[in-house]
Amino acid sequence: MASGKTQNKHLRLFEISSTKPRKISPKAQKQVFSSATSLSSEHYQRQTRFNRIKDPSLLAVASTSGDIAILSYPNLEAVYSTVADGDVYDLDFSPADNDMVSFLHVHNLADFQIAYITTKSFHILPFRSSKRVRLQNKKQLQELHAAGSQPGQFKPQSSMVYRCARFLSATTVLCILNDRAAKRAYFGRYIVNVQQGWRQVAPRPLSSRIKAVTGMDVNRPRRMVAVATNDMTVHIFHMDTLAVLAVVLRRLIDRRL
């Protein structure tokens, strides 16, 4: 981000035409985070994500300085902001399907949720949005290295860091943890319990050939999880069992491009 009083319209939106050939054209731009709050001019906007409905009404952005903001869409007015305890590596909106909405309303939890991670911590922000977006009873989980006090929980090594996070449902978030010392990657699940809040299930190791994960996304209708790795391959897993469905090698990706 720019330093001093220079404006840096770091959030930029583009429109994709509905007719072929597809054209991408600028739609809007806005400075969301103040450069005066950044500790270094090297900080930048890392995450940008729409809420998961057919016609998006919210847009979340986060930076390497820990700034997080939720904007209304399409007018891009700020409706919520906070500062995380470190670089925000990933964030995700909860899915807006009927099961999710009914579960959250029946148990009076929230209208929607946002999960975000820094390298050492995992957070859930539950929101109410009847008149305006507001935080509903913020729940912040223990830092990763402090977990493991309850039976069945996994106590990870201090060399483990969070890399990715995606909602699988209203009650489950799937995370990726990279162990920098052992050069291994792990799936980690968080599952909500209405009485106890979110709890961590023991992480499950990925193949020993995967030294680190760089990105992840979820296709809920097809029950698939796609994981990108540091060796330029893509691994496809079943969303429920985490069984390997396919591996796309780098040479195959290059050939298709």
Q: What are 170-229's pLDDT values in tens digits?
A: 788 999 999 999 999 999 888 876 556 667 777 899 999 899 999 999 999 999 999 999
Tell me, what's the pLDDT at 255? 54
- Tens digits of per-residue pLDDT, 73-131? 989 988 888 888 889 999 999 887 555 455 555 555 567 788 888 887 888 887 766 54
Mean pLDDT of the chain: 78
Q: Which CATH number fits domain 103-257: 3.30.1120.10, 2.130.10.10, 3.40.1260.10, 2.40.160.20?
A: 2.130.10.10
Closest CA to 232 of 217, 256, 219, 213: 213
Q: Looking at residues 60-82, what average pLDDT do you find?
A: 90
Let me know: does 67 contact 33? Beta carbons within 8 Å. Answer: yes
* pLDDT for res 193: 62
Confidence (pLDDT) at 156: 53
pTM: 0.79
Which pLDDT band, with edges at 50, 70 and 90, does 142 fall under? Answer: very low
The HSE-up count of residue 30 (CA atoms within 13 Å, CB side) is 18
Alpha carbons 168 and 166: distance in angstroms, whole number: 6
The string of DSSP letters for the chain reads: ---TT-----EEEEEE-SSSSP-EEEEEEE--S-GGG-S-TT--EEEEEE-BSSS--EEEEEETTSEEEEEETTT--EEEEEE-SS---EEEEPB--HHHHHHHHHTT--SEEEEEE-SS-EEEEEEE-SSS-EE-S-EEPPPGGG---STT-----TTEEEEEEEEEETTEEEEEEEETTTTEEEEEEEEEETTTEEEEEEEEE--TT---EEEEEEETTTTEEEEEETTS-EEEEETTT--EEEEE-HHHHHHH-
- Residue 144 reports pLDDT greater than 80: no
For residues 95 and 110, is the Cβ–Cβ distance under 8 A?
Answer: no
How many angstroms separate the CA atoms of 250 and 252, rounded?
A: 5
pLDDT in tens, 24-52: 999 998 999 876 554 456 788 889 999 88
Domain ranges (residues) in the chain: 103-257
